[in-house]
Chain A
Amino acid sequence: MKVLVVAERNDGKLRRVSAEIATKAAAFCDVEVVEVTGTDRYHPVAHANAVAAHAKSSGADVVLTGATLNGRDLAARVAAKLGWAYAADCTDASATDGAFAVKRPMYAGKVRATLRVPTPAVLSIRPGAWTLPAGAAEAKPTAIRADASGEKLMFARFEPTATRGKRVSLSEASVIVSGGRGLKGPENWKMLEELADALGAATGASRAVTDAGWRPNEEQVGQTGKTVTPDLYIALGISGAIQHLAGMTSSKVIVAVNKDPDADIFKIADYGVVGDLFEFLPAFTAAVKKTKAGS
């Protein structure tokens, strides 16, 4: 079986998920790793054209991308262009006879599915699903050129989000500190950010918070926001609506702080603190700093 891995870069560096896929796929298949060049940024049409054409000419049976924002967008259009089978956001994939056995979440994470995806196929693989072994040789992608010069769809400009700091990105963070309505207002996020800084964490929010405009949309964790699987998820003042739980229940360790002992978030938490957030949080941030300094 011949596999085409489409790698992505972030600030010039190969994305971790691209390395994960290239390394894992090399273990069971004949792999070619490519990256799309020729445009300043991802172009939905031009990149799909380039990848589909290369998949055809190289005789690939499977195209793999990272299940990133651009990787998912690309994979879907490439699958349509080639008329191949498609599965998004796979947490595992292994070749069986003439098909892939794929595992992926469905129903916004409320169900885990095992699927049979016939080849040829296009799959996007969730970042972190295939962990990178230490000392794995770095993949060296071959460049394939996209040509966007004839495209009517054109990039005009970038509009940065005003509140954005230099924080870790939510979807790839290993620690996330999330806030809910229990924080009572956007002015109290300073407290949450102090803890996030102490932990080197990304900041997240519940839908109630992003809907109220306290935090930007991109921080929303849950069904209509991001699905995250960090090593440590700290939920502050989040009651745990089913839509929020769907987005973070696969985190390795969940800590919840809430004043309501009956809050649903405690049903899935590994560690829960029932009490006043505003009293507990500064004390906990100090304790984290101390622990970090000592370890």
Chain B
Amino acid sequence: MKFLVCLKQVPDSTVRVKVAPDGKSIATDGITWSISPYDEYAIELALEHKDSDPATTVSVVTVGPARSRDALRQALAMGCDDATLVTADDKVGGLDIAKALAAVVKEAKPDVVLCGKQASDDDQGLVGPALAEALGWPHVGMLTKIAAGGDGVELWREIEGGHEVWTAPLPVVGLVHKSAKEPRYPSLPGIMKAKKKEIPEKDLAALGVTPGAPRVEVVALEPPPQRGGGKILKADGDINALAVELARLLHEEAKVL
């Protein structure tokens, strides 16, 4: 099976995101960039297929600024076969990104396209379904597993209380929620190999995309309201009295019990 994983480079999930002085963007000085967590799961899910069937290939692609090359390099080090960088500034709208990815898909002809269910920066979750729409392929969201079945593949979609299992002939788009295992760390040989790989670069024009889709404009960003100054109770005396006191506070003061 031939996989193509679409990824996005985002601030690492351990970064304490701060609003920049312009009030409309985030402060990027000195922050660590990583592959978006759900995209990492998508890579892992594809690589798990490669582990059990060496004929499987896993390609990665991103549409983003030049720094995104590092995220592609990381994916190669994890074990992906090849990578493509489509350069675009971060103002390009989701529907235009989907069009650019669709052009890459038409050239690469994968059986399965995987995207993380949403990128952990804008948390929109638009590009995956929009890519499926641009290709005229079906998509399945909340994907946790893909296996041979039916005339093509079985796609496991996590919902409340369990999984819906869908079948579709190939090709198909999956929006990944989790992989079976945690995303692997790059191995040392993997890192060495990844360093030597060429990462071809294209721009939107080369893919026939002129940005023009409606765009959502950020008017203001603000940190969530600060919390703190809570009551801290120490359990060093009568534990039952303490439990009763907390229940009383929740009932009488916080009024949530």
Contact = CB atoms under 8 A, between A and B. Distances in A.
B218 A271 contact: no
Contacts of A160: 161-162
A288 B247 contact: yes
Contacts, number: 271
Contacts of B129: 44, 48, 73, 76-77, 80
Given A110-B16, A253-B256, A291-B251, A274 B218 contact: no
Contacts of B168: 152-154
B52 interface: no
A284 B247 contact: yes
Contacts of A156: 149-150, 154, 165-167
B175 to A, nearest CB: 8
Contacts of A107: 11, 17, 26, 120-121, 123
Interface in B196-230: 213-224, 227-228, 230
Contacts of A255: 246, 250
Q: Contact size class for A?
A: 35 or more
A147 B90 CA distance: 38
Contacts of B235: 273-276, 279-280
Interface string A101-136: 110111111111111111001000000000000000
Contacts of A114: 218-222
Interface in A76-107: 76-77, 79-81, 83-89, 101-102, 104-107
Interface stretch (A23-31, A56-64, A182-190, A216-224): A216-224
Interface in A206-263: 211, 217-218, 223-224, 231-232, 242-243, 249-250, 252-255, 261
B257 A291 contact: yes
A143 interface: no
A13 interface: no
Tell me whether chain B's interface is mostly helix, strand or loop, or mixed. Answer: mixed
B233 A272 contact: yes
A47 B132 CA distance: 14
B122 interface: yes
B115 to A, nearest CB: 11
Nearest to A74: B129
B38 to A, nearest CB: 7
Q: Contact size class for B?
A: 35 or more
A287 B252 CA distance: 14
B103 interface: no
Interface string B234-257: 111001101110111111001011
A112 B124 CA distance: 13
B231 A283 contact: no
Given A107-B123, A291-B248, A275 B224 contact: no
A199 B246 CA distance: 14
B172 interface: yes
Contact of A287 (B11, B142, B231, B247): B247
A194 B175 CA distance: 36
Interface string A149-193: 001111111111100100001000001000000000000000000
Given A156-B165, A249-B227, A280-B242, A232 B126 contact: no
B130 interface: yes
Given A88-B126, A111-B26, A283-B243, A231 B256 contact: yes
Contacts of B94: 86
Given A116-B217, A268-B227, A81 B124 contact: no
Contacts of B150: 154, 156
B126 A290 contact: no
Given A159-B156, A270-B254, A274-B233, A72 B163 contact: no
A223 B130 CA distance: 23
A80 to B, nearest CB: 4
Q: Give 9 nearest A-B pairs by CB, closest first.
A: A275-B235, A80-B130, A153-B138, A283-B243, A287-B247, A80-B133, A85-B214, A160-B162, A76-B129
Given A48-B133, A253-B250, 10 more contacts: A112-B221, A114-B219, A156-B167, A159-B163, A218-B158, A254-B227, A268-B227, A273-B242, A283-B242, A295-B251
Interface of A: 41, 44-45, 48, 69, 72-73, 76-77, 79-81, 83-89, 101-102, 104-118, 121, 151-161, 164, 169, 175, 199, 211, 217-218, 223-224, 231-232, 242-243, 249-250, 252-255, 261, 266-276, 279-280, 283-284, 286-288, 290-292, 295
Interface of B: 11, 13-14, 16-17, 19, 26, 37-38, 41, 94-95, 98, 118, 120-126, 128-130, 132-134, 138-142, 144, 149-150, 154, 156, 158-169, 172, 175, 177-178, 182, 213-224, 227-228, 230-236, 239-240, 242-244, 246-251, 254, 256-257
15 contacts: A41-B164, A107-B17, A107-B26, A109-B224, A169-B160, A217-B158, A223-B37, A224-B37, A255-B246, A266-B230, A269-B230, A273-B234, A275-B236, A286-B240, A288-B257
